[in-house]
Amino acid sequence: MRSDNPVSKVRATASWLKARTRQFKPVAAIIAGSGLANSLPELTDRLAIPYSNIPNFPGTTVKGHSGELVFGRMGGKDVVIMRGRFHYYEGRPLNFIAFPVRVLAFLGVKTLIVTAAVGSLKPSIRPGDFLVLKDHINFMGGNPLIGNYDPIFGEMFPDMNEPYDATLRREVLAAARKLKVRASEGVYLAVTGPSYETPSEVKCYRMLGGSVAGMSVVPEVIAARQLKMKVLGICWISNFTSGISKVALDHSDVLKLGEKVSVKMKVILETVLRSKNIRGI
Give the catalytic positions in this structure: 34, 65, 87, 89-90, 117, 215-216, 239, 251
- Single out the residue of 82, 114, 111 nearest to residue 215, CA to CA: 114
Are 156 and 275 contacting, i.e. CB atoms less than 8 angstroms apart? Answer: no
Q: How far apart are CA 259 and CA 113, in angstroms?
A: 20
DSSP state for residue 90 in the 8-state scheme:
G
Alpha-carbon distance 95 to 181, whole Å?
35
Ramachandran region, residue 70 (left: φ > 0; alpha: ψ -120 to 50; beta: rest): beta
What number of CA atoms fall less than 13 Å from residue 62's CA on the CB side? 27
